[in-house]
Amino acid sequence: MDKPFVHFIKLHKDIYLFDVNTNMICKINKRIFEYFTGNGEREVLSADDVLIIENMRKCSMLQPNKIEKLEHPMTEIVEDILENNMTKLTMQVTQNCNFRCDYCVYSGSYHNRIHNNKRMDWETAKTALDFLCNHSKNSAEINISFYGGEPLLEMELIKKCVDYARRIFKRKQLAFNLTTNASLLTDDIILYMKKENFQLTISLDGPPEVHDKNRTFSDGKRGTYDIVIDKIKKINEIAQELLEHITLNAVLDDENDFALINQYFTNEPIVKHMIVSTNYINDVNRKDKIERGNARNYVEICNEKFVGMMYLLDRVPRESVPKLVVREVADIREIVYKRSISEQVMQKEAHPGGPCMPGVQRPFVNAYGKLFPCERVNETCEEMCIGNIYDGFDIDKVKKLLNVGKITEEICKNCWAFNFCTQCAVTADNGKKITPVVRLEKCNKVRSHVENLFKDYIVLKECGCDFSKVF
């Protein structure tokens, strides 16, 4: 008997079988578990067990691993999509900043990149916008984001870009985004952002003692909380409608008290009604690796996630769910509940989840006019550069990043979390090039995260959760 491509999840005293080919999950008893994990002797099975297994096979479950080659299904059409179907572009208008946040990729805490005076000139910006226009002929909606460094250092350039974009994209629905530390917002800029209907992402990590720990002015001494919160208050004062278009971005440092941060975003009057997104300090290419092991924070996060799960079960109101765990709880629905279930066995050619389509989802152009898959990549790594706005995309590089799983092909082909992998080329970068060693270092963490999502989903499902509820 060919070995079925399955993974077993033990939850308390129960055992669940996850079928990798079909993405189906079913509860099994100990006898069936022993049958598949032992020597496959049918003597351990009862007549009902045999019937259960037969029914599973009728649904195409319990088939062997058919993957022979790693090849992303979009590989052959990515060039056509990039030619006429781009919808967005993130523009790095400067590599300078008036802050020195410890965990910024330009802070000096990471290999290769530091803040400098390089700025995007108008000719580069104009060429970038023309490039987007020429590669978006079939797109009805266009999104342009301004990024840094601190983009507000180049406000005049941003205004020129907005005016020019409105001219060349006049028949398309146009949207603008800007990621900022907010310190340079003036009354005029705030009103301009309101008039042009900008979406803003403002960096705010929590109360003063938390925010100021990592976010200082360029002198490295003065904290920045007061000026950031004053600017948010000013927006509330003169352009209150703009608050609905702002997302606060909080970087979670495990050395800080999660409960304190959570209380702040829940209770602080000026921010408690605002959307908050969270992410942990990026450890890719960091000189000093981040150690995450704060037991107190772990317990607190688990407690708050439990509240979010109680909301999904209609046990508590929506307003009881802490903002800082909304995404983690929502992932149960978005990743597991919404997974694609099929009775078709996985194709012989496939690729693990994780990589986006470079140049399509979040294309990024730096101040020099070089193109990258997104703003998160290491732009000093030559393998990450997928072309430039003058010569166009390097399709061979695009396809290589899209198929990054090939560098660990044999291991990936046999991984039970194949369809749920979150690793892209960014997580395989050692600071100079993409390597299998760096990619494999993160595999156990990815698999553990996916299995925990499955466990949460199983518990909620058995408790009668209505997964149609959204946050």
At residue 385, the pLDDT reads: 97
Beta bridge partners of 279: 251
Q: What is the pLDDT of residues 315-353, one digit of tens each?
A: 999 999 999 999 999 999 999 999 998 877 678 999 999
* One-letter identity of residue 245: H
The pLDDT-based confidence of 64 (bands split at 50, 70, 90) is: very high
- Beta strands 6-11 and 14-19, pairing class: antiparallel
According to DSSP, residue 107 is labeled B
| CA 389 – CA 129 distance, rounded (Å) | 9
Return the structure tokens found at 82. Answer: 């990039």
Task: Determine how many CB atoms are found less than 10 A away from the CB of residue 2.
Answer: 9
**What is the mean pLDDT of the segment spanning 226-252?**
97
Examine the pLDDT at 292 and tell me if it is beyond 90.
Answer: no
pLDDT (average), residues 181-208: 98
Confidence at 79, pLDDT banded by 50, 70, 90: very high
Pairwise CA distance, residues 320 & 223, whole Å: 31
* pLDDT 10s digits, 151-194: 999 999 999 999 999 999 999 999 999 999 999 999 999 999 99
List Cβ neighbours of 145 (8 Å cut-off, separation of 6 or more).
88, 89, 90, 91, 176, 177, 178, 179
- List the beta bridge partners of residue 203: 249
CB 27 within 8 A of CB 14: yes
Q: CA 28, CA 61: separation in Å to the nearest integer?
A: 13
Banded model confidence at residue 408, pLDDT cuts 50, 70, 90: very high
Q: Which long-range contacts (CB under 8 A, 24 or more apart) does 191-197 make?
A: 191/238, 191/239, 192/159, 193/239, 193/242, 194/239, 194/241, 194/242, 196/162, 197/245
Using pLDDT thresholds of 50, 70 and 90, give the confidence band for residue 419. Answer: very high
Residue percentage of the chain with pLDDT more than 70: 98
Compute CA 267 distance to the chain's CA centroid, rounded to the nearest angstrom: 27
> Which residue is it, tokens 């900022």?
180
**What is the DSSP annotation of 380-398?**
T-GGG--EETTTEE-HHHH
Tell me how far apart the alpha carbons of residues 28 and 4 are, in angstroms, rounded to a whole number. Answer: 15
Backbone angles phi, psi at 419, to 5 degrees: -75, -10
- Model confidence at 1, in pLDDT bands (50, 70, 90)? low
- Asked if 440 and 408 touch (Cβ cutoff 8 Å), the reply is yes
Q: Please confirm whether the linkage preceding 369 is cis (ω < 30° from 0).
A: no
Average of per-residue pLDDT across 75-104:
95
Spacing of C-alpha 434 from chain mean position: 19
Taking the C-alpha atoms of residue 129 and residue 23, their distance in angstroms, rounded to an integer, is: 41
pLDDT, residue 414, reads 96
H/E stretch holding 236 reads: helix 225-238
- Give the separation between CA 125 and CA 145, rounded to whole angstroms: 12
Q: What is the DSSP letter of 281?
A: P
| Burial of 36 per CB tally in 10 Å (0-12, 13-18, 19+) | middle
Here the tokens at position 395 are: 């399709």
The identity of residue 351, as a single letter, is H
